[in-house]
Amino acid sequence: MNEAIRALQPTELWNHFADINAIPRASKKEEKIIEFIKSFGENLHLDTHVDEVGNVIIKKSASKGMENRVVVCLQSHLDMVHQKNETTNFDFDKDGIDMLIENNWVTANGTTLGADNGIGVATILSILASSTIEHPPIEALFTIDEETGMTGAMGLKGGLLDAKILLNLDTEEDNELTIGCAGGIDITASGEYETATADSSFEFYKVSLKGLTGGHSGIDIHKGRANANKLMNRFLILANEKFGIQVQSIDGGSLRNAIPRESFSVIAIETNQYAAFALFAQEMAKIFKSEYKTTDSNLNLTVQPYSAGNEVINSKFILQLLQTIYACPNGIYRLSPDIKDLVQSSNNLSRVLVQDGKYSIQCLTRSSVETEKMDLALAIKSTFSLLHANIVYGGSYPGWQARPEAGIVKMMTALYSTLHDGEIPLVNACHAGLECGILGTNYPQMEMISFGPTIHGAHSPDEKVSIASVEKFWAYLLETLKSIPVAA
């Protein structure tokens, strides 16, 4: 089916996207894609440089007649989120993405697609390779590790770029121009616990919570979707109160920036209580499905016999752990009082792993207000301090302050309206983490804007990109490049 992708319009863009998607490119494992991009620039005899952290910078002179225009930086990130359905047989370290066309969308077969931000990367490659597109002087910036720490943007030194305008190609609705975003910080609480031996009258079962929608922990956090870690914890604490269960392990969520879609727990219960426990599990499944029927219609909770050793978590500790997770904030913390419907601060309880005498709980806290971000982080730290956990902050990055008065914002707003029969684009800030705020620390005079084609389900196996939207985005970008003003 990837050949059908290559036949889509604009063909140069889709062909580059197919080439990129043949290369594994998980965050912090971008060696192959870095080498691909480096070779791409060198084969075109363009000024190509890989900086000390792995970002690739390729510079291209202006097309004829555009030499006096302002230098523009086209920027996208090389890494992609690796998520797959449990039943999908796929090795992200070796396999290329298997793409499909479904109802005018491009999607993937049971995995994330990588349109975030592969479409942006493919777009920039198309500009670099073209001999006919009109454009000002171009500096193409391909950053690494955007999805798990933004270390590429953080490591980019000042003085490498001359651009006065940066076009970030990482927004996911084609009628939006993003001019601000939230900052974020990772919080990890970890420690060890004592184990015990399960009572001989207990039998083991595996509790599986699957089928949740998940999604991007910034873009989708306001949609009220279920968090698998929260629901599993709720199930376990109620089961413990009612049946005195013993817990052997908990394994929920995966990536810090993805709303958890699945959680699994191995528990033990007295044999003579199983019938009542099974009815309880069915009732909890009905409650969860009722509460989340709109957002997570495929939610599924099952209990099955499980063969396990007889080691379980110390009963006192498991109760403290479940209570602490129950108290941990999740979802929207505060809406912006200044921008309608914008989430200002939130937390995603992204990962819970408790097994073999060790536990680790991960959160990603976001806010467009730095002081509020740290206030929420302190609230979470205080929660897990009650568990005497080792709490580590990491990957903190700043938000991006909106500048609606910037020349590029005004120009692109007017241009969009001209191209689309007077329709006015939505100029906004987003709750996702974009690299612009970080890049702006070393390039404070650079005007920045983010836009892109319509992508749904980013960071989940439901990810898809609209074919028509890619065409719309491509045409808009080309007109934008033509309209870049003359340098002062």
The span from the CA of 94 to the CA of 401, in Å, is 39
The span from the CA of 81 to the CA of 24, in Å, is 11
Of the residues 19, 79, 435, 462, only one is catalytic, namely: 79
What angle do helix axes 315-327 and 370-385 make, rounded to 10 degrees?
A: 160
Q: Is 251 a catalytic residue?
A: no
Is-contact 415 202, C-beta < 8 A? no
Of the residues 116, 145, 146, 176, only one is catalytic, namely: 146
Q: Beta-strand (E) ranges in 32-153?
A: 47-50, 56-60, 72-77, 99-102, 105-108, 138-143
Question: What would the two tokens of residue 276 be?
Answer: 């009542």
End-to-end, the C-alpha distance of the chain in Å comes to: 48
Q: Is 146 a catalytic residue?
A: yes
Question: What would the two tokens of residue 154 be?
Answer: 């953080």
235 Cα distance to chain centroid = 27
Q: Any idea which residue has 């960071």 for tokens? A: 459
The span from the CA of 424 to the CA of 428, in Å, is 12
The span from the CA of 341 to the CA of 363, in Å, is 23
Is-contact 138 146, C-beta < 8 A? no
Question: What would the two tokens of residue 372 be?
Answer: 């509020």
Catalytic residue numbers, as ranges: 79, 146
